[in-house]
């Protein structure tokens, strides 16, 4: 978690390895095939402030309540407010979320070398 939501500091990700943040797919799993049920916590942790802006809740609270929908998740990961125009196609959302996950995993792998 962040040291404080308004101080601009980066979160300490060292203790997040292995933790997962839920993706709420509900009864629409069929259109989200390829999107995991959860993402590594360290992928979303740097976006805690945006989650709070968008949802008025901490990541911990959102996770306890079932997570974020794929659209809401992508908005948070891109540090955007809610979608103001047409929603992206599910395939675009899936690709961008996987891109974020792969970026964090690549950094994690590079840190081990």
* C-alpha dihedral sign at 64, 79, 28, 43: negative
What's the per-residue H, E or C state across 42-65?
A: HHHHHHHHHHHHHHCCCHHHHHHC
The residue whose two tokens read 């955007």 is 80
Residue 86 pLDDT: 78
pTM of the model as a whole: 0.78
Mean pLDDT of each 10-residue bin along the chain, 113 residues long: 40 65 93 94 96 96 97 94 82 94 85 74
């Amino acid at each position: 978690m962040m040291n404080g939501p308004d101080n601009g500091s980066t979160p300490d990700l060292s203790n997040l390895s292995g933790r997962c943040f839920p993706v709420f797919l509900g009864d629409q799993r069929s259109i989200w095939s390829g999107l995991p049920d959860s993402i590594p916590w360290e992928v979303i942790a740097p976006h805690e402030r945006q989650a709070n802006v968008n949802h008025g809740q901490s990541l911990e609270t959102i996770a306890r309540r079932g997570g974020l929908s794929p659209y809401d998740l992508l908005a948070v990961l891109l540090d955007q407010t809610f979608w103001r125009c047409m929603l992206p196609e599910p395939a675009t959302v899936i690709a961008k979320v996987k891109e974020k996950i792969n970026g964090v995993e690549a950094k994690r792998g590079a840190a081990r070398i």
